[in-house]
Amino acid sequence: MYIQSTKSFYQVNALGHTYVKATFYNAVDYVQYLEGKRKLEEVKRAEVKALVDTGATFPTLPKETITQLALPTLGEHPAETAEGTGKVELAANAIIKIDDRIAQSPIIIRPKDTTPLIGVVALEQMGYKVDPTTGKLIKGLPLMFYFLFSSTKACMTVSKSMIGTFASPRIKG
């Protein structure tokens, strides 16, 4: 049984799990759209129902969605996961949109048919918090990165400098 909120972008099920409707975009395509070189409908995207996981750092997507988005893979990297310490396969940054807010993050690649996750990096960039008593998403103030990112010029600068890296954005005048 799902308890539907007044907003259609998230659901809380009877077990207290929070799911959101999220759209993932290929970051390179999205930057080309912002530069006027591509129409929005030409940007590779995937709309998914994702589990909000405040214990996860980065978002995860199943392999088939990574392929659909044509995200380059960045190889395996050491990480601590719910399954213990090991290696995870990473894909390049994607743009993530939930309701009217956006974030940018590298994506952890999971096996086929696994549930997509939204981790705290994306949630914090967008200013979302999970109310622990209701499990509902609450909009707050986004991180400063979001304000920089939401302007077209900054988005293009940040995207070009961050695609495929974990480096902090270097935004120049």
pLDDT, tens digit (0-9, with 9 covering 90-100), for 41-59: 999 999 999 999 988 999 9
Number of domains in the chain: 1
Q: Is the pLDDT of residue 17 over 90?
A: no
Percent helix, percent strand, percent coil in the chain, to nearest 5 = 25, 40, 35
Question: What is the pTM for the complete model shown?
Answer: 0.77
Q: What is the mean pLDDT of the segment spanning 67-77?
A: 94
Q: Using one digit for the tens of pLDDT, what is the confidence trace for 112-149?
A: 999 999 999 999 999 999 888 888 899 988 875 544 44
Q: What is the mean pLDDT of the segment spanning 148-165?
A: 45
Residue 80 lies inside a defined structural domain of this protein: yes
- Domain range for 66: 2-162
Residue 168 lies inside a defined structural domain of this protein: no
Q: Quickly tell me which residue has 């961050």 as its tokens.
A: 162
